């Protein structure tokens, strides 16, 4: 009897060890599955940066965001809008109380929206159907959304990464990563060149183009971060014309500021529709 008990105990211990080992292997596989197969060093650097600021799943978990967007050009022209986004589906809405550079010909309040299917514009609560104006909306809505979620979306599918080397700027050392987008029908796509701080793993500045307006000479964007609800958000931005060497020109800066940022505000999808009566 004692022998059988001892034998059973040994069997139980062996089974327990096998179970724990199997569980650890499953956990390891699950953890590995969350890490993509990197194209190259540049891709890995971008991945590590996104883990630092918070990846797109973190945004989706917060459901939505509302914030104040202020854009000011060197000649003093200013846009001030209340922006609202739902991250799952990339819904986008902006209510401009001041728009001296965006559709400035329209006096009074303008509202722009994207409900997942349709872009729309209202002027003093009246819906406009002018195709030329709606093309501007079709640029503004995804662009404003993209700038807010850009760091996270740098891991989207269809991106190509190229490690360009290292550079020292103002006593900080950077890894430089070039990002391009897969293009259909050979249509020009934007190019980004990130300067990832070796010490912080954050993007301190980046070069970018605006292919939608055929602007393929780079602009230099410098950013400053703010921690909000566990995410690092580049709330202060300034940009100007540059070269691919990130040389700072004598041009004045354009300033962009995001303030009053609030996540998970229970924004309804109905608010993003052209006819948004609840």
Chain segment 212-256, per-residue pLDDT in tens = 888 899 999 999 999 999 999 999 999 999 999 999 889 999 999
**Rg of the Cα atoms in the chain:** 24
Q: Which two tokens stand for residue 176?
A: 């430089």
Local confidence band at 187 (pLDDT 50, 70, 90 cut-offs): low
Whole-number Å distance between alpha carbons of 20 and 169: 50
Whole-number Å distance between alpha carbons of 113 and 272: 6
- pLDDT at residue number 213: 86
Element holding 238 (H helix, E strand) = strand 231-241
Whole-number Å distance between alpha carbons of 159 and 155: 7
- pLDDT at residue number 26: 39
pLDDT beyond 90 at 20:
no
- For the segment 21-38, what is each residue's pLDDT rounded down to a tens digit? 444 543 443 444 478 899
- For the segment 62-120, what is each residue's pLDDT rounded down to a tens digit? 999 999 999 999 999 999 999 999 999 999 999 999 999 999 999 999 999 999 999 99
Whole-number Å distance between alpha carbons of 24 and 18: 10
- pLDDT at residue number 184: 65
Strand, coil or helix: 63: coil
Element holding 195 (H helix, E strand) = strand 191-197
- pLDDT at residue number 35: 80
Q: Where are the domains of the chain?
A: 1-34, 41-272
CATH number 2.60.120.620 is the correct assignment for the domain at 41-272: no
Whole-number Å distance between alpha carbons of 265 and 139: 25
- pLDDT at residue number 36: 83
Whole-number Å distance between alpha carbons of 191 and 265: 33
Residues whose CB falls within 8 Å of the CB of residue 236, separated by 6 or more in sequence, listed in order:
223, 224, 226, 256, 257, 258
Cβ atoms within 10 Å of 241's Cβ, excluding its own: 15
- pLDDT at residue number 212: 86
Pairing of the two strands 119-123 and 110-114: antiparallel
Q: Which two tokens stand for residue 260?
A: 């009053």
pTM listed for this prediction: 0.85
Residues above pLDDT 90, as percent of the chain: 80
């Amino acid at each position: 009897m004692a022998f059988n008990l001892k034998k059973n105990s040994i069997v139980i211990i062996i089974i327990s060890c096998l179970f724990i080992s199997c569980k650890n292997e499953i956990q390891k596989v699950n953890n590995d599955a969350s890490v993509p197969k990197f194209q190259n060093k540049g891709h890995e650097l971008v991945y590590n940066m996104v883990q630092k600021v918070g990846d797109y799943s973190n945004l989706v978990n917060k459901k939505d965001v509302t914030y104040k967007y202020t854009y000011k050009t060197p000649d003093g022209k200013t846009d001030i809008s209340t922006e609202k986004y739902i991250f799952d589906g990339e819904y986008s809405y902006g209510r401009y109380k001041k728009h001296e550079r965006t559709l400035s010909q329209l006096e009074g309040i303008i509202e722009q929206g994207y409900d997942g299917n349709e872009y729309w514009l209202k002027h003093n609560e009246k819906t406009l159907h002018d195709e030329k104006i709606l093309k501007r909306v079709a640029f503004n809505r995804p662009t404003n959304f993209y700038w807010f979620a850009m760091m996270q979306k740098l891991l989207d599918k269809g991106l190509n990464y190229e490690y360009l080397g290292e550079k020292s700027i103002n006593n900080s050392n950077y890894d430089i990563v070039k990002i391009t987008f897969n293009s259909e029908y050979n249509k020009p796509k934007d190019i980004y060149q990130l300067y990832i701080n070796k010490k912080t793993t954050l993007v301190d500045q980046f070069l970018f183009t605006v292919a939608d307006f055929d602007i393929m000479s780079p602009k230099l964007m410098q950013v400053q971060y703010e921690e909000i609800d566990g995410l690092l958000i580049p709330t202060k931005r300034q940009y100007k014309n540059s070269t691919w060497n990130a040389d700072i020109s004598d041009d004045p800066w354009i300033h962009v500021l995001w303030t009053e940022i609030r996540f998970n505000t229970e924004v309804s999808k109905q608010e993003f529709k052209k006819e948004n009566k609840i």
